[in-house]
Chain A
Amino acid sequence: MIPAQFDYVRATSAEHALQLLGEHGDDAKLLAGGHSLLPMMKLRLAMPSVLIDIAGLPDLSGVRRDGDDVVIGALTKHGELAASEILEREAPLVAHAAGLVGDPQIRHRGTIGGSLAHADPAADLPSALLASDGWLELQGPEGTRRVAVDDFFTGYFETVLQPDELVVAIGTPRRMGAGWGYEKFTRRANDWGIVTVATVGGRVALGNMGPTSLRARATEQALARGASIPDAAELAAEGTEPVTDLHADGEYRSHLARVLTRRALTRAAG
């Protein structure tokens, strides 16, 4: 299929993008790397009447240190995250997960801000940032606000991001030397995860185990109580309702969540 008809506008600055969003409201979509939005449009799951291209905006790209955090511009591409020396040293979970997104072409175009705003529960970066206790900086007509990743995802492809807001930055605490683990179970090398598990600093995030990336709270609590990794991992699917779809049965997903959590925690502890 081909996308429904739409208009295309190129934003020249973040403020210009916000102004265009204000004018078009719900009818507009921001276009960055386009690697989630354009497929959705081709399938007519998204039919924006206006595309506001923000890919060329200056100052929204790159990785830097800021106090106790690493701050990542929203337009930073997955490939750049995977290759970032700062992330490699201080948030290696994020760099690793970014390096597993799709294939090199996708990593060359897709952006971290786009991936989080798209809020696909099967994507790599939402779970990695959730486990990392990350945050997003959102810019709107009234200024900027900071939202914890914990509070960002509200449902299947849904977030607290308002139609007139733009993700400008993503942050994650610097964790030099902290143990981390990331497990991704796929049919093919370049597929979305059937289930993914990310862990660092005692937090465990599950991908594709529900409508959003979500915390394996029972596992985290068990770990905090001093439970062994195998015992804590057994609780990974508690409280989740994974779907049965083309790729896997829900029960199999729950099994994978337990196994992958054990492996990720073991890797983090090693």
Chain B
Amino acid sequence: MGPSQRYRPIPAALLVLFLAVALVLPLGTFGQESKAGPAPQNKPFAPGELLVKFKTATRAQAYEFDRERFKIKALKRLGERGVHRIKLAQEMSVEEAQNFFRQDPEVEYAEPNYYRYLARTPDDPSYPSQWGLPIISAPAAWDHSINCTATVVAVIDSGADYEHPDLAANIWTHPAEIAGDGIDNDGNGYIDDTLGWDFIFDNGMPIDADGHGTHVAGIIAAVGNNSRGVTGVCWNAGIMVLRAFDAVGIGTVADVIEAMQYARLNGAKIINASYADPSFSQAEQDAVNALNSAGILLIAAAGNESVDNDQRPSYPASYDLPNIIAVTATNQSDHLAGFSNYGLQTVHVAAPGIDVLSTYPSEVDVLSENFETGTAGWTLPAPINRTRPGYNSAWSLTDSPGGNYANNLDVSAVSPAFDLSARRSTVLDFFLEGRMLAGDRLLVETAENAGGPWTSQKVWVQNSVAGGWQSFDSGVSGDFTGAWQAAEVKLDHLDGKSLGYLRFRFQTDASGTADGYNLDDVVISALGTGQDTYDFISGTSMATPHVSGLAALIWSTNPGLTAPQVKDRILDCVDRLPDLSGKVFTAGRVNANSSLQNIPAPPSRFAVTGDSDSQIILGWDDNYSDAVGFRIERREAAGGAFAEIALLAPGTSVYHDTGVQTSKTYSYRARAFTSDNASAYTSEISATAASSSSGGGGGGGGCFLTSLLAD
């Protein structure tokens, strides 16, 4: 490619002007650092880039011709309007280059490449609190791509608040299922599974009764750039909500396996598994293996027990299968979090997992009474009344204000009505002090109507004297004198009910009396749905979805990649951290930008296109416009190692290998490279000088570490 081909003569007048500009601005100034001071944390424009509109095409060609002199690394025309994207040599700042081009009268405008960049910085108001996103270089990755829509991520968790305003738009919906018609339209075995599935209650409403799953889903794909709340690693993606964990974060292998099967058969490419336990399950391993056969990645939490998973495995993260990425947690200082499990062989990467902000169901108090200012709404038949003192306060409620309770008592303090519509995970908390003899008891009962029927609930009471907690299936009895004890009752049977009542029922027998109980600080709380609420939580559970989101971003950008190739991109492109050395397989924390942006696509259709006695001709398609060039490697098919035989310029798509011996068979492979990265190799092809054969195809991609880690 000579100048005669690319550089047409320019009019003499213009050439004079061109040279004048070059003289006015001595090139030496480009070598100096910008005087503008340190760049702001959120750079308003892509570093090292400039958008310049030339008034004439020849003007652009003039700069192109003399790139080296003007410290231009590359110049690329965008569309037909004369706008060029200029990549600057490293020693030239954007400001300096901008000033330079603005003084050229043939330049209509020159500006930093910030329109494009701004579009990739989300406007979500809580984004500045999401420290984990800049630390994994998500903004730079978003500059490359924000589109995750091509990849469905299944979240096997406690469900998700799929009505959350910062999640709803990114919830996967089942295209073949009609909501609410009671028919399994697509015959997949699940009726009305339009939003995923609840494997605990076996229905199509996998709402989150814990909060964990909503948080995880938001880390992967809270709606980005919607002027609301937070953003996910993916701004837009299909979150398949699969509920296999209950209101307190407990699930079973049976439900997890069924959820994996559902994900596999309904289009998920990635499964987020923010759970872990030491019990090995052959059935679970088989299920993950089936995912592997289907080309699905399982991204799994390493666990929060501060143990070495190499010594004490945590499943499913620790199954030795190629489609698993085991993830541990790092903090804001890029140190391993204190709770993090690790494992040089079995934990692959780290990701942010401390104080992570994400979507969370609102926790609301639907009933709260401390008896300090009265008992409005409560029905308190005698002898029940307020008494002194309370729990850290003046007043409480008691069965016997005057002293001991009476024999043969059956009397109830009844709460006002409360509303649990659209609430989940309802819990009653209160404090208790005093004593009731055996045969006498305090029942906690609930009803859905003021007139009953009333049902007794199991009560957990802390015993600070004996230590631990006691549960009472049919009424609290015994001695809790001298210290207020916390008590808790699960009321999730009332979840979603528009009307609920609570009563404390004191029942005594005919023999013996005591002080009775004092009750205080009665609170019924529940999780809401569809509320615009967020929370910070920590765990390898939170690190894992950062990686799931990244995998979705990589896969959506490069749909042709296989699961192992996506895994390689994540593992190979980490930022290595001293604190992770010897503890994590890659010794690194994921870097979204490295995984996504700097990796050239490999050449495709790599094939033998011709041969003779003295040469073999190779051809391919260039898939990466920013490549610096191609490397061709060859070995004798009989064996031996590949050796580089050619380093070719960008744009090349054919190579004549003249260094061959007649009748000898050779194998070839190729890859594209940039200044700091290389693509995966193409698959090998082989040919014999004078009689050809061919094969070939594309490959994946990876940072330079690929070959190191693969060995």
Partners in one complex: no
B residues lining the A interface (CB < 8 Å): none
